[in-house]
């Protein structure tokens, strides 16, 4: 007789290896034998099953069918863009703008939850500011002209000018300045939002890596002194490092130029990638790192220890700025100090490219033909594949549905995370091939061994390529250790 399931140590070892690699795998086709109850995008009610045939997912699983927004397949020079279009994660709306389809929306919602956890752990408070920003705010800081053509501008019917905000330093500072009774005892404020941003890119490309409309997390901090502001700066940078670690992304924090945002100190979080448009240098000896823009063009030695510098390309996924009083002095964002005198707030601002983090993670983690997701962000963690209709294993179809119900009952964190591939007119092999493209972390197949007594299901860890056969009880024990957000 076969063992019911491997020893706990074996399962824990497999799961730990799956976690060690930041990505997952994919999901397959359709199942029959079951009449699908109802499809629920979020967590279904008990007794309801999420089935693949009801998913709105326009797929182009042949590479030669995938076109860029301009209609030329040759424009798809970026792996993440090609894969996200191919498996139906995004769909082009216009140059630089994309429809985000259900899998991507789920992944972004999960990323936002991880961001909320990290920001609120350091005292962040979530706000939501209008995308429309009055021109007078931007003229006050002179950025109305400084931003140039990248600022998307418009007039309302009364002739009043606005921009669609690429960032919100002006708006948040004016908001805080309107509160005229602030005390030093209330500070620091760490105010953040996750909203759509807009930038009139001259040449949008690489899908979600450089687009005209995108999601961004922007945080703005207000402190009572430069020392306190720099302490907050370090706190937020630490939260960013924690975030990327949880996502399994090996980002590098580098010194950066302050650009049009301004301030005196700035750092970027760069994800090393061949497609990256930034160049940065790292010193293996002392750990110094900087964007190449901040170094002399001919500089090859570390300015800190004189050791050799190693140059890499990267995708900027986060940026931090210590602003000082640049904005608070313009809008009179003040607080009352311990002596009862008004003082200008010391500010910082901190950005995370939400859609860019997702696309960049897919860029560096995926294979050439299969999506792999940053850890925790897989839209669905488990895909169940029942036998093909009319096959010798068809009798196991009912067992697959029972296993779905058991998982969602016995492993509460996986409710809404299990997808049943109900396209049983397709072979298991074809559905498994699709599952590999979609990047589900775990694929469970009801094959020949599902007809044994007790039934054994094939469990594939898509990150490691490992396969084990487990009973119903073994499957639920194994999956109970899976972490979700």
- As for how many domains the chain has, the answer is 2
The backbone torsions φ and ψ at residue 172, rounded to the nearest 5 degrees and listed phi first, read: -70, -35
Looking at the structure, tell me whether residues 332 and 217 fall in a common domain.
Answer: yes
Buried b (16+ CB within 10 A) or exposed e, 355-372: bbbbbbbbbbbbeeebbb
Does residue 2 have a pLDDT over 70?
Answer: no
Cα–Cα distance measured from residue 85 to residue 68, given in angstroms and rounded to the nearest whole number: 8
- The pTM (predicted TM-score) of the whole model is 0.90
Nearest one of 270, 326, 323, 324 to 293, comparing CA atoms: 270
Residues 321 and 404 in one domain: no
C-beta separation of 66 from 82 below 8 A: yes
Q: Which of 365, 394, 411 is the last residue of a domain?
A: 365
Question: Which range among 2-11, 76-85, 218-227, 401-410 shows the weakest confidence by mean pLDDT?
Answer: 2-11
353-380 pLDDT, tens digit per residue, is: 999 999 999 999 999 999 999 989 999 9
Residues 357 and 412 in one domain: no
145 within a domain of the structure (yes/no):
yes
The residue from 301, 334, 365 where one domain ends is: 365
Residue 291 pLDDT more than 60?
A: yes
Domain termination site, one of 308, 336, 365: 365
- Together in a domain, 289 and 333: yes
Do 361 and 384 belong together in one domain? no
Q: Specify whether 118 is located in the same domain as 90.
A: yes
Amino acid 351: pLDDT: 98
In a shared domain, residues 350 and 456: no
Domain for residue 56, yes or no? no
The overall average pLDDT reported for the chain is 90
Q: Is the pLDDT of residue 7 over 60?
A: no
CB 107 within 8 A of CB 139: no
- pLDDT recorded at residue 404: 98
Alpha-carbon distance 220 to 233, whole Å?
Answer: 10
Domain of residue 412 covers: 380-480
Distance, CA of 411 to CA of 479 (rounded, Å): 7
Verify that 333 and 426 share a domain, yes or no: no
The band of 35, judged by pLDDT with boundaries at 50, 70 and 90, is: very low
What's the pLDDT score for residue 69? 54
- Which CATH number does the domain housing residue 435 bear? 3.40.50.800
C-alpha dihedral sign at 382, 388, 392, 398: positive
- Residue spans of alpha helices (H) in 311-377: 328-331, 354-365
Q: Is residue 20 situated within a structural domain? A: no
Whether 306 and 450 share a structural domain: no
| pLDDT of residue 23 exceeding 50 | no
Pairing between strand 152-155 and 189-198? unpaired
DSSP per residue, 54-67: G-------SGGG--
Q: Is 24 a member of any domain? A: no
- Residue 109 belongs to domain with CATH number: 3.30.930.10
Query: Among 23-32, 42-51, 390-399, which is the least confidently predicted range?
Result: 23-32
């Amino acid at each position: 007789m076969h063992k019911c399931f491997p020893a706990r140590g074996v399962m824990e070892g497999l799961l730990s290896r799956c976690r060690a690699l930041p990505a997952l795998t994919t999901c397959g086709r359709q199942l029959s034998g079951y009449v699908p109850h109802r499809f629920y995008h979020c967590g279904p009610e008990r007794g309801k099953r999420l089935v693949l045939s009801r998913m709105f997912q326009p797929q182009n699983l042949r590479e030669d069918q995938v076109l860029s927004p301009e209609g030329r397949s040759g424009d798809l020079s970026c792996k993440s863009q090609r894969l996200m279009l191919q498996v139906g994660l995004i769909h082009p709306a216009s140059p630089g703008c994309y429809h985000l389809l259900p899998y991507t929306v789920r992944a972004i919602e999960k990323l936002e939850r991880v961001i909320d956890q990290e920001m609120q752990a350091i005292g962040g408070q979530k706000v939501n500011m209008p995308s429309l920003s009055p021109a007078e705010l931007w003229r006050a800081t002179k950025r109305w002209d400084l931003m140039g053509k990248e600022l998307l501008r418009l007039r309302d019917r009364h002739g009043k000018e606005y921009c669609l905000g690429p960032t919100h330093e002006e708006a948040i500072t004016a908001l805080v300045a309107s509160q005229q009774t602030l005390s030093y005892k209330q500070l620091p404020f760490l105010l953040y939002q996750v909203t759509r941003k807009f930038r009139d890119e001259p040449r949008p490309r690489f899908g979600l890596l450089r687009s005209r409309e995108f999601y961004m997390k922007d945080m703005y901090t207000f402190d009572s002194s430069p020392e306190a502001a720099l302490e907050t700066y370090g706190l937020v940078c630490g939260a960013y490092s924690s975030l990327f670690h949880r996502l399994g992304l090996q980002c590098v924090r580098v010194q950066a130029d302050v650009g049009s945002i301004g301030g005196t100190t700035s750092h970027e979080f760069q994800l090393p990638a061949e497609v990256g448009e930034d160049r940065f240098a790292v010193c293996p000896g002392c750990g110094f790192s900087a964007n190449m823009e901040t170094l002399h063009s001919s500089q090859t030695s570390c300015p800190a220890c004189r050791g050799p510098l190693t140059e890499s390309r990267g995708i900027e996924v986060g940026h931090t700025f210590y602003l000082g009083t640049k904005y608070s002095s313009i809008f009179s964002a003040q607080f009352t100090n311990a002596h009862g005198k008004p003082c200008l707030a010391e500010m910082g601002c901190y950005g995370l490219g939400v859609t860019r983090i997702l696309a960049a993670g897919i860029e560096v983690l995926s294979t050439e033909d299969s999506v792999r997701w940053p850890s925790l962000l897989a839209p669905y963690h488990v895909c169940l594949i029942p036998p093909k209709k009319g096959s010798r294993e068809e009798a196991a179809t009912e067992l697959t549905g029972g296993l779905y119900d058991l998982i969602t009952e016995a492993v509460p964190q996986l409710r809404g995370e299990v997808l049943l591939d109900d396209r049983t007119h397709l072979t298991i092999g074809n559905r498994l091939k699709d599952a590999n493209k979609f990047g589900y972390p775990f694929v469970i197949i009801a094959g020949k061994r599902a007809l044994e007594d007790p039934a054994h299901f094939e469990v594939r860890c898509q990150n490691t390529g490992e396969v084990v056969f487990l009973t119903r009880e073994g499957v639920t024990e194994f999956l109970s250790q899976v972490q979700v957000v």
